[in-house]
């Protein structure tokens, strides 16, 4: 793992990063982004494991599931579960984006089904469920290009809509880093999402319907 003690601080914009489908990244690069704390333990399985996460699966099971879903190191794979961002060839960010049907918990207890009357099993509706910025690069705005890249990726893969489920801070309270893995409202607003519902005090459901969306964010690409 690279020593990040001398990382230069400053805003990170779209022009600064290269964002690729996870199957074009190595497994080691993704693990560097996840680290060993919350994201490393979860392996982006929070919305996927049936039942209560830590009781329903082991660390080994979550890691194996993540490896299968991302297909890291398989550039010819036809599917993957997210995107990896690079800054100066360092892996620095991750965004999970794939069909909503890949997430069992989005169809039951985790996100109340308000403001939507469509089939929960419609696999043309995609979801952004997690944004992770590598320790040492946080607080520099990297989630903004990650969210925009997720929009382009979903649309290019045939999605007719894309949802996100950001959390809000209650009256002056801060959202902890672990809670913010779903993103914050402003990030998705700037990527073109609009609010569908506000099912709880701390969560909003946001969405882009591509048939009505005229903006064209870039599709993630290799370079």
**What distance in Å separates the CA atoms of residue 191 and residue 85, rounded to the nearest whole number?**
17
Q: What is the pLDDT of residue 154?
A: 98
Alpha-carbon span 162 to 36, nearest angstrom: 29
SS3 of 205, please?
strand
Three-state DSSP at 30 gives helix
Burial class for 173, CB neighbours closer than 10 Å (0-12, 13-18, 19+): exposed
Number of separate helices (H) and strands (E) present in the chain = 6, 7
CA-based max dimension of the chain = 50
Low-confidence ranges of the chain (pLDDT < 50): 3, 5-6, 214, 216-219, 221-223
Domain residue limits, the chain: 15-212
Cα–Cα distance list, 102 to 7, 65, 96 (Å): 35, 12, 11
pLDDT of residue 167: 84
15-212 CATH choice from 3.40.50.2000, 3.30.70.1140, 3.40.50.150, 3.40.630.30: 3.40.630.30
Retrieve residue 73's tokens: 């190191």
SS3 state at 82: strand
Q: What is the pLDDT of residue 114?
A: 64
CA distances from 93 to 13, 48, 146 (A): 13, 20, 8
Q: What is the pLDDT of residue 49?
A: 82
- Three-state secondary structure along 185-197? HHHHHHCCCEEEE
pLDDT of 222: 41
Which residues, in sequence order, are bridge partners of residue 94? Answer: 84, 132
Which residues neighbour 73 within 8 Å (Cβ) at sequence distance 6 or greater?
23, 25, 26, 27
The pTM (predicted TM-score) of the whole model is: 0.86
pLDDT at 106: 82
Q: pLDDT tens, 34-43? A: 998 888 999 9
d(CA 100, CA 104): 8
Cβ–Cβ < 8 Å for 86, 121 = no
């Amino acid at each position: 793992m690279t020593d990040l003690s001398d990382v230069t601080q400053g805003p990170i914009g779209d022009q600064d990063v290269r964002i690729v489908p996870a199957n074009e990244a190595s497994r080691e690069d993704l693990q560097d982004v996840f680290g060993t704390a919350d994201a490393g333990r979860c392996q982006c399985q929070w919305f996927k494991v049936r039942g209560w996460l830590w009781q329903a699966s082991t660390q080994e099971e979550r890691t194996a599931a993540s490896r299968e879903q991302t297909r890291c190191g398989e550039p010819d794979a036809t599917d993957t579960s997210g995107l990896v961002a690079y800054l100066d060839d360092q892996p620095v960010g991750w965004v999970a984006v794939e069909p909503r049907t890949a997430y069992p918990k989005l169809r039951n207890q985790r996100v109340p089904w308000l403001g939507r009357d469509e089939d929960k099993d419609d696999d043309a509706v995609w979801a952004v469920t997690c944004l992770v910025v590598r320790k040492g690069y946080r607080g520099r705005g990297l989630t903004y290009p990650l969210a925009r890249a997720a929009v382009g990726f979903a649309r290019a893969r045939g999605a007719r809509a894309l949802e996100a489920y950001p959390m809000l801070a209650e009256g002056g309270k801060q959202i902890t880093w672990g809670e913010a893995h779903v993103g914050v409202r402003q990030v998705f607003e700037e990527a073109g999402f609009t609010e569908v519902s506000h099912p709880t005090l701390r969560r909003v459901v946001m969405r882009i319907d591509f048939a009505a969306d005229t903006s064209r964010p870039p599709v993630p690409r290799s370079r």
